A and B are shown apart, each in its own frame.
Chain A
Amino acid sequence: MNGVVMRVRANFWFAPAAVLVLLVFVYPVLRTLVLGFLHLNLETGFEPRLAYLDNFARLVSDTRFHNSLKITALFTAVSVALELLLGLLLALAVEGIRRGRRAARTFILIPWTLPTAIIAVLWMWIFNDQYGVINALLVKMNIVGSPVAWLGRPQTAMMTIVMADVWKAFPFVLIVLLAGLQSIPREMYEAIEIDGGKAWHKFKYVTIPYLVPFIFLALVFRIVQAFAVFDLVYVLTGGGPGGATETVSIYGYYTYMRYLDFGYGAALVVAIVVVLALISWVLYSMLLKKYEMGR
């Protein structure tokens, strides 16, 4: 009797959160798994028909899907690498100055808090071929002869999206790494000074080892988010020109909402989760290895 009362009480605390998790995580995941094994689209008149492994077999031969995977991987690798480099250099620089640190953090935090879809509009205009400020500056400085249609060509369109993503996300890396730098005890640096070490030694033997877990944390968060990129691409190019910037999230969204192919959309989404899980697993085991070697 007492046990039952205790359990009911415990459930009271977790019930509201559990209801939200069931509705918005557990049910959708189960529903997606079911949909993946069904044909449910225009052709079937939106009547579900058992598809067995048809949808997953289609993934294997769908070149548009393979292409979107490549594009997403490229986007993720380039943007996250740039964000990490910029964030790391900036964190070291901010840690090195004394006055104006607070103001710098406020300014740099701004891009991260703005809606990504609106950041896309912002860059769409800045890079517009006729009315954009980038072309105006480049032409004025004689770097290019005539305005460039940045979003109209495959390579430059991708470059623009990467640039917008780096602009939005480097503040996040900065904040995480600054927290890492602040966790380093002063005594560690002093010990190196007493031993007659140089600034380079401090960086190599104290700063970097302390920062490694923070770098991994920033890396994992950014990779997972960049892999799911949607807002920027949807607003800037819609996946174009000619599919050159179509990421997996964009392809998945079109399959669901434009082609109304719910069975295949679900299979696509399952594939995205599997790829992401693999990436996370690799990163996680790398981190573990690093720690074991340090011991």
Chain B
Amino acid sequence: MKWAARLFVIVLCAVAVAPLVWYGMSSVKSSAELALVPPSLLPSSFTLDNYAELFIRRPFATYYLNSIVIASLAALLCIACASLAAYRLARAPKRFRSAATSALLVMAFFPPIVLVFPIYELVRHAGLVNQPWGLIIPYAALNLPFAVWLLTGYMEQIPYELEEAAAIDGLTAFDTYRRILLPLSMPALTTAFLLVFIFSWNEFMFALTFMNLESSRTVTVGVATLSGAFAYEIPWGLLAAGIVVSTAPLIAAVALFQKRIVAGLTAGGVKQ
């Protein structure tokens, strides 16, 4: 039994990373080797040309910068708004809290296709098409239910006595939030930031619709539409390098913060 369990886990770990290994290997193959049919399994050449081309011939550095700016600001805006609301929700009467939680759940279940067109109209009227804020604000809002949920659950467990002591010392409610609640909630804030950053980095439908200039694309849309940018042949080498570069920060985040990400994913489940 034990060895079967072990084997199964190993096989699925391999399945989870094998496609990425294939891409990593393909990204360093020369264009001549990439043109082979059938493809070579292990690279026989080593070159960084594909990476160089990605940044020189394609505006990949711009895509990258756009994604970093948009995902970080969206995550910051989201947890700023969410933490204010979560602090009050955590101290609210139970009935009010569960009503708010159900409303959040309904919002979290809305498919993006339902919202994309009306939000596009808003973004266009505000003159934010092709502007980072045209994505930052929607992303912050789309991830708000999740962030409020996570932070409320965490802040509930912070003892109320701390706030009473702060009130006796003459701290205002906002100072209590800023100087006591926020520092104590750091683990949950980190988790929320990480996950909202990842969700924003990964988002496709809105980014595809709201950003139609090369100079304002995000990295996810940039890579996904790379093959369409070439009329006759699919630029495999560029694609492989693009995938490696655009997923590297996410893989690093999983390796470094596995525990925090898992905590964030299960918070909703364990709480109920």
B127 within 8 Å of A (CB atoms):
no
CB neighbours (8 Å) of A120 from chain B are: 224
CB neighbours (8 Å) of B65 from chain A are: none
A133 to B8, CA, bound (A): 23
B180 within 8 Å of A (CB atoms):
no
B98 within 8 Å of A (CB atoms):
no
CB neighbours (8 Å) of A172 from chain B are: 265
A16 to B77, CA, bound (A): 9
Contact assessment for B37 and A130 in the assembled complex, using a CB-CB cutoff below 8 Å: yes
A21 within 8 Å of B (CB atoms):
yes
Mark the stretch among B14-22, B43-51, B158-166, B184-192 that contacts chain A.
B14-22
Which B residue's beta carbon lies closest to that of A220? B109
B114 within 8 Å of A (CB atoms):
yes
Contact assessment for B220 and A115 in the assembled complex, using a CB-CB cutoff below 8 Å: yes
Which B residue's beta carbon lies closest to that of A176? B269
A272 within 8 Å of B (CB atoms):
yes
- Indicate whether A118 sits within 8 Å of B220 (C-beta atoms), given known contacts A13-B87, A230-B205, A272-B114: yes
Q: Nearest chain A CB to B135's CB is how many angstroms away?
A: 11
Contact assessment for A227 and B111 in the assembled complex, using a CB-CB cutoff below 8 Å: yes
A131 to B202, CA, bound (A): 26
Interface of B is mostly: helix
Contact assessment for B5 and A93 in the assembled complex, using a CB-CB cutoff below 8 Å: yes
Contact assessment for B118 and A31 in the assembled complex, using a CB-CB cutoff below 8 Å: yes
Q: Nearest chain B CB to A138's CB is how many angstroms away?
A: 10
A241 within 8 Å of B (CB atoms):
no
B110 within 8 Å of A (CB atoms):
yes
B54 within 8 Å of A (CB atoms):
no
Which A residue's beta carbon lies closest to that of B121? A31
Contact assessment for B116 and A253 in the assembled complex, using a CB-CB cutoff below 8 Å: yes
B55 within 8 Å of A (CB atoms):
no
CB neighbours (8 Å) of A25 from chain B are: 107, 110, 115, 141
A111 to B202, CA, bound (A): 12
B155 within 8 Å of A (CB atoms):
no
CB neighbours (8 Å) of B269 from chain A are: 176, 179-180, 214, 217-218
A: which residues have CB within 8 A of B? 9-10, 12-14, 16-17, 20-21, 23-25, 27-29, 31-32, 35, 86, 89-90, 92-94, 96-97, 100, 102-111, 113-118, 120-126, 128, 130-133, 135-136, 139-140, 147, 167, 171-172, 175-176, 178-180, 183, 213-214, 217-218, 224, 227-228, 230-231, 234-235, 248-249, 252-253, 256-257, 262, 265-266, 269, 272-273, 276, 280
Can you list the 9 inter-chain pairs with the closest CB atoms, starting with the nearest?
A228-B111, A24-B141, A28-B118, A115-B202, A136-B38, A20-B141, A179-B266, A117-B224, A96-B5
